Structure 1
């Protein structure tokens, strides 16, 4: 499969100051979802791509897929595109995470499982192994960042100070498929 483009979903409602991962399914404003769907549709036309998109099942990405489906796109949902599972932290205010728990994460940045969730190492393996079924996708900031890390820094273990910021909401990132 050639390169694909993945967009980060629109900014969800109620995310401010919270740890939002794969367990917290927040909605997005319908106008923002439609606006991003318009941009994806224009990208597909400009690059003469098939009218096909894959999204995470979470509302903040799937809302864009629903718009594209209304406009004749084939829409696929793939759980492998879901955001990182932050376990017991998912949905909590960052201010409510005890400093000692946060320090445990920083001490084991790659292996920490967020008290029943998914480690960064597991997310990176999931993102690296994913094979795009089409050229257009809508996903999540953590997943996109993990995928980029795996492709651009093969074999390097990330550290808290080297981990890049997630792409902006609604931003496109182009990527080649993994050779996993």
Structure 2
């Protein structure tokens, strides 16, 4: 299976905020800019007009714009960013240094209260990827799958594609993809 996934547009007023599954707004012009990129890609490669999105508006909004242009969008909560629990939506400066240190030193398994850890994010990403691979094999069309996702999920998916382990410490985590950037992943 081949997956082309674009990172959502930059959210409004997110600087200095811990953003995971906080449903933060995005400028409509930026949503349209990404929808235009996806639409051009589909037209250029003659692909089906189907795109997967998360339920968070920074991804969902792109799907809704594409739907107005004849696309089908499929909502998959599994594509959402990592859930930072009680940290989500709070300024980083309000999160205790001890909690951040605990997270960095036990990167794979630490989760803020009511949140998920990195290992759980990898399991969620792997489950979604496995389901799409099974569907793709059943249809025997080998058409790439298109999605609009989130930086943490994309990094996890890349590491899964490259058969890398879940990082144990924060320094093993790769740089995030840029907003509106696409990644090709082969599974």
Coarse TM-score class (shorter-chain normalised): over 0.9
Q: Does 1:152 pair with 2:162?
A: yes
Residue deviations 1:59-87, cap 9 Å, x none?
Answer: 00011001100000011111000110001
Structure-2 separation of matches of 1:20 and 1:157: 20
SS in 2 for 1:5: strand
Equivalent position to 1:139, from 115, 140, 149:
149
Alignment correspondent of 2:176? 166
Alignment correspondent of 1:28? 26
Alignment correspondent of 2:115? 117
Shift of 1:158: 4.1
Structure-1 separation of matches of 2:49 and 2:157: 24
Equivalent position to 2:85, from 64, 69, 87:
87
Q: Does 1:5 pair with 2:15?
A: no
Shift of 1:4: 1.6
Residue deviations 1:122-176, cap 9 Å, x none?
Answer: 0011112213366110010010011111221434544211211110000001112
TM-score by length of 1: 0.92
TM-score by length of 2: 0.89
Structure-2 separation of matches of 1:136 and 1:64: 12
Unaligned runs of 5+ in 1: none
Select the structure that is richer in helix: 2
Shift of 1:14: 1.8
Alignment correspondent of 1:65? 63
Q: For this pair of structures, how many residues does the alignment match?
A: 175
Once superposed, what is the RMSD of the aligned Cα atoms? 1.4
The answer to whether the 8 A contact 2:105-2:168 is kept is no
Structure-2 separation of matches of 1:35 and 1:72: 17
The answer to whether the 8 A contact 1:49-1:135 is kept is no
Shift of 1:116: 1.7
Alignment correspondent of 2:39? 41
The answer to whether the 8 A contact 2:82-2:152 is kept is yes
